[in-house]
Structure 1
Amino acid sequence: MGKIIYWVHASVDGFIDGPDGEFDWPMMGPELSAYSEGLDKRVDTLLFGRPVWEMMVGFWPNAESLLDDPHVASFAPFWRATPKIVFSRTYPGDEWTSRVISGNLAEEVTALKARPGGGDLLLTGGSALAAALTELGLIDEYHVAVHPVVLGGGRKLFAAPEQRHKLRLVDSRVLDGQVVVSHYQLPSS
């Protein structure tokens, strides 16, 4: 059975983007890039909520022509080649979307995790979809990169949860001398 891995960047004050939706603050040094690439090697499908999808599809199809950066050069081909699923009740999909899921979240995600021969699935960024999947107990691993920046507002790391969820710390490390990456699981995982 495949796992769902949640990989997200956050500020010290717990936001995943700035007050105006800006995402120009994460610094992808070589160690953080290597950590991200290690997660990529474990997955065969990418998962996105609509807000993150719209940001991703606006950049990654032509990323190398927009930014000369080693992380971009490594991740862009992976992003283009990997199947991508968007969760949205209203988004019709586009040329980069492999599938749009708008039905029963619990049923659809449980089926994705149980697909024969399926690998792990990577949920990148976002807060509402991650919170909904957490409420359903469907996220197996949380990888949170906390960057040394205070944003003062934006979308919270998790949308308001319905209940408290205790996580178990698996590993924590400082990468590139400044970003704290913590790996958590639900206690039952």
Structure 2
Amino acid sequence: MRKIIYWVHTSIDGFVDGPNGEFDWPVMGPELSAYSENLDKHVDTLLFGRPVWEMMVGFWPNAESITDDPHTAAFAPFWRATPKIVFSRGYHGDEWTSRVISGDLARQVAELKAEPGQDLLLTGGSALAGALADLGLIDEFHIAVHPVVLGGGRPLFPNPASRRGLRHVDTVVVDGQVVVSHYQPLARSAA
């Protein structure tokens, strides 16, 4: 069974973007880039909610012509070559979208996880991650906490359906400033 790995950047006050949707605050130093690239080695499919997809498709197809950042140079070819699934009720895809999932989230994601292949990487965002976590479909959480207070924006887990227990696996400090914690969900007890 394939796992869903959730990889996300957040501020210390728990927001995945700023009050006006800004995402200019994460700093991808060499150690954080290496952490991200290591996650990429274990996956063969990328998952996105529509808001993150629109940001990604606006940058990664031609990323090397926009910046000479080493992380960009390493990730852009992987992003272009890897199948990408977008979750959206109203979006029908584009030239970079391999598939759109719009129906029964629990059923379609369970089927996706049962397909042969490597793990699936859900990158960024919060609404899709929150919905998948509520359904018990996220297997690993990798949360990079950056040293910034945003004062508002989209929360890391908006409106969770219930309390969610996680087991700490590991924490590292990268680039002398970003705290990356790895968690796995605790098994839900039968009531």
* Normalised TM-score (structure 2): 0.97
Cα distance in 2 for residues equivalent to 1:159 and 1:113: 24
| 1: CA distance, partners of 2:159 / 2:77 | 34
Corresponding residue number in structure 2 for 1:152: 151
Unaligned runs of 5+ in 1: none
Does 2:189 align with 1:186?
Answer: no
Specify the SS of the correspondent of 2:77: helix
Identical-residue share of aligned pairs (%): 78
**Corresponding residue of 1:106:** 106
Displacement of 1:67 after TM fit?
1.0
- 2:12 paired with 1:12: yes
Paired residue type of 1:80: R
Q: Distance in 1 between matches of 2:51 and 2:118?
A: 25
2:69 aligned with 1:66: no
How many angstroms apart in 2 are the aligned matches of 1:174 and 1:166? 23
User: Displaced runs of 4+ in structure 1, greater than 2 A?
Assistant: none
Q: For the aligned residues, what is the CA RMSD? A: 0.9
Q: Which residue in the other structure is 1:56 paired with?
A: 56
Query: Once the 2 structures are TM-superposed, how far is the Cα of residue 188 of structure 1 from its aligned partner?
Result: 2.4
Aligned to 1:25: 25
Q: Residue in 2 aligned with 1:122?
A: 121
Superposed counterparts of 1:67-86, under 5 Å: 67-86=67-86
SS of 2:181's partner is strand
Give aligned pairs, total.
Answer: 188
TM-score, normalised to structure 1, is 0.98
**Separation of aligned partners in 2, 1:173 and 1:73:** 24
Partner of 2:134: 135
For 2:186, the aligned partner's letter is P
Mapped partners of 1:19, 1:63: distance in 2? 25
